[in-house]
Amino acid sequence: MDHASKIICICGPSGAGKSSLMASVVEALDDAVSVYFDAYQSTLVSPDPVDVYRRLEQEIITDPMDIVRKEIRNDRFDEDLLRLCHGHEIIDPWNRRLKPASIIIVEEPFGRLREGMQELIHTVVYIDLPLEIALCRRIMRNLTYDYISEPVDARLNHVLDYVKSFHDGEGMAIRLLQENLKATSDLIYDGLRPKEQLAAELVAHISSL
């Protein structure tokens, strides 16, 4: 399917630096816009990762990617991305007015794996980061940024809830997803390298398209 814009998808575990990379690349390009999946969390339909891992353990499901293809949807995100791709201005849930551009840098945590994304995405870039480091970054971000306006006890409870969920099965579900993302990506970047280097390489790649 032909589109007016090329969509470059950035994926990787939470804490891999996707947002920072996107911001740097868009700033460096003359005609680019960024679309963040995180902005559309309120319209995301997704099963509990712990339940996903339980169903995998009990062999209720055998292919974890069936979950991504059949049970994860974000209709508003998909519709906005299509409109932007076809030259229409959109306003995202963060109230950002996004104008069409020749390059759309998209944070899409499921890469090409979600239904309909294969036809839209031109290049998938996977930021490869060990999950233990990604988890540390997520915890530090939760404590110092995400919940900074809440009391200390509330911030600690958010972190404990996430770590417990990670331990109880979400971590294994995330690992399975990341393995599939890495296997289906066009470019794999080492998430331990400086973000300036990654941005420069991605800008060079996009400029060559």
d(CA 48, CA 173): 10
Question: Residue 202 is part of which domain span?
Answer: 6-207
CATH of the domain at 58: 3.40.50.300
d(CA 178, CA 150): 31
pLDDT for 3 equals 55
d(CA 98, CA 34): 8
pLDDT for 98 equals 97
Question: Has residue 1 been placed in a domain?
Answer: no
Question: Has residue 70 been placed in a domain?
Answer: yes
Please give the structure tokens belonging to residue 59.
């062999």
pLDDT for 70 equals 86
Question: Has residue 89 been placed in a domain?
Answer: yes
Tell me how many degrees the CA angle 137-12-28 measures, rounded to the nearest 5: 90
Kindly report, residue by residue over 62-120, the tens digit of the pLDDT.
777 888 888 999 999 999 999 999 999 999 999 999 999 999 999 999 999 998 898 89
pLDDT for 1 equals 40
Kindly report, residue by residue over 140-182, the tens digit of the pLDDT.
999 898 899 999 999 999 999 999 989 988 888 889 889 999 9
Q: In the structure, what pLDDT confidence band is assigned to residue 50 with cuts at 50, 70 and 90?
A: confident
> Residue 99 gets which letter from DSSP?
-
The tally of domains found in the chain comes to 1
The percent of residues in the chain predicted with pLDDT above 90, rounded, is 72
